[in-house]
Amino acid sequence: MMREITLSTAVNEAIAEEMRRDETIFLIGEDVAEAGTPFKITSGLVEEFGTDRVIDTPIAEPGFMGIAVGAAMTGSRPIVDLMFGDFIFLIMDQLCNQAAKTHYMSGGKLNVPLVLRTNMGATRRSAAQHSQSLHAIVAHIPGLKIAMPSSALEAKGLLKTAIRDDNPVVIFEDKLMYQDKAPVPEGELLIPFGQANIKREGTDITLIGTSSMVQVAEKAAETLAAEGISAEVIDPRTIVPLDMDTINASVRKTSRCIVIDEGHQSFGVTSEIAARIMEQSFYHLDGPVIRMGAMDVPIPFSPALEDITVPTPEGVIATARKLMAGEMFDV
């Protein structure tokens, strides 16, 4: 029987294993040392690696992000902890103008091998500035790789791959999944980028989900199966690079597709994947590719409102039924 660990432990293990392997790796961010972050993800690391490699910073996100970029250009491999994904707006210049472009602007002479770990996900009752899922915004910038783990297994395997990558990689962990357990094998675990995972095979409809939306898709698929609708569930695992081969193969088989992602629906990841499917697999489709993202509203505080904003299994089920029935979709 394989052991089960939480996503939080998986991240901690990945960092510790990589730091033991490579002295050039260090961890930097707010309250990453003794506090172990507010989510207690990095607890214990400072005891093993010391304050020289587990570096607490002032509350100065652009500053420590910039420092990480410079360190990455000069022989270090920093792992940056950004406490909330919402704070990514604070570091946009360092991430998008500096880290993402340095390799290209230098004609390939300089590398920026850094990992930015941050989080995403609403329904934690944290309101509009601690609940956003902003991966699409950075996925728009060439030069950044974007990983979105959907369980403890992916959290460990993708993070270890990210740390060994010679490019800036941004990992978005769903903050509501930190205590979720999943089977994770002992020992070395590397999950390659750009390889989608077929979580469940099916023949009637493809449900593509990212991060926690993989669980939403799987729950929907269970119910749909009871109704005789066979749904295939795909987890892209990284959105940059994006494994369109697996996605196209699935959609060409099922002829119908819903893309589910917790970023805002407009101009988002769902739109990008849907557009690529329509460009590349249009003649295999029997219906429109449907996007299901977070509503285009700032995330509200009240539970009565917040829960409405994100895709749910019930919503996916209703949409799948309409798609199977050939019904029209409203704007």
Partner 1 sequence: MRQANTETYLRMYRQMVRIRNFEDQANQLYLSAKMPGLTHMYSGEEAVAVGICEALKVTDKITSTHRGHGHCVAKGAEFKQMFCELLGKEEGYCRGKGGSMHIADQSNGNLGANAIVGGSMGIATGAALSAKRLGTDDVTVCFFGDGATAQGLMYEVMNMAALWSLPVIYACENNGYSEYTRTDEIAAGSITARAEAFGIEAFKVDGQDVLAVNDLAQKLVARCRKGEGPFFIELETYRYHGHHVGDINRDYYRSKDEEKAWHANRDPITNFGAWLTGEGIADQGELDAINAAVKADAEAAVAYALDAKYPDGSEVDMHVFAGAS
Pick the catalytic residue from 103, 130, 135, 264. 130
70 belongs to the binding site for partner 1 (CB under 8 A): yes
**Is 236 an interacting residue with respect to partner 1 (CB under 8 A)?**
no
Q: Min. distance of Cβ 221 from partner 1 in angstroms?
A: 34
Interface segment toward partner 1; rule CB under 8 A; list 59-67, 200-208, 219-227, 251-259: 59-67
* Three-state secondary-structure class, residue 13: helix
Nearest alpha carbon to residue 178 among 152, 143, 215, 158? 152
Q: Which of 30, 61, 173, 262 is catalytic?
A: 61
**171 touches partner 1 by CB under 8 A:** no
Residue 234 C-beta: closest distance to partner 1, Å: 24
Does 161 bind partner 1 (CB under 8 A)? Our answer is: no
Q: Which of 15, 33, 69, 274 binds partner 1 (CB under 8 A)?
A: 69
Of the pair 158, 213, the CB lying nearest partner 1 is at 158
Long-range interactions of 190-193: CB distance < 8 A, separation 24+: 190/157, 190/160, 190/161, 190/164, 191/153, 191/154, 191/157, 191/158, 191/160, 191/161, 191/237, 192/161, 193/145, 193/147, 193/158, 193/161, 193/162, 193/165, 193/237, 193/238, 193/241
DSSP reduced 3-state for 207: strand
Residues 95-114 that bind partner 1 (CB under 8 A): 97-98, 102-111, 113
Active site residue 135: no
- The DSSP output letter for 96 is I
CA angle 263, 6, 185 (to 5 degrees): 110
**Binding residues vs partner 1 (CB under 8 A):** 24, 26, 52-53, 57-58, 60, 62-76, 78, 93-94, 97-98, 102-111, 113, 142-143, 145, 165-167
Name the residues annotated as catalytic: 61, 130
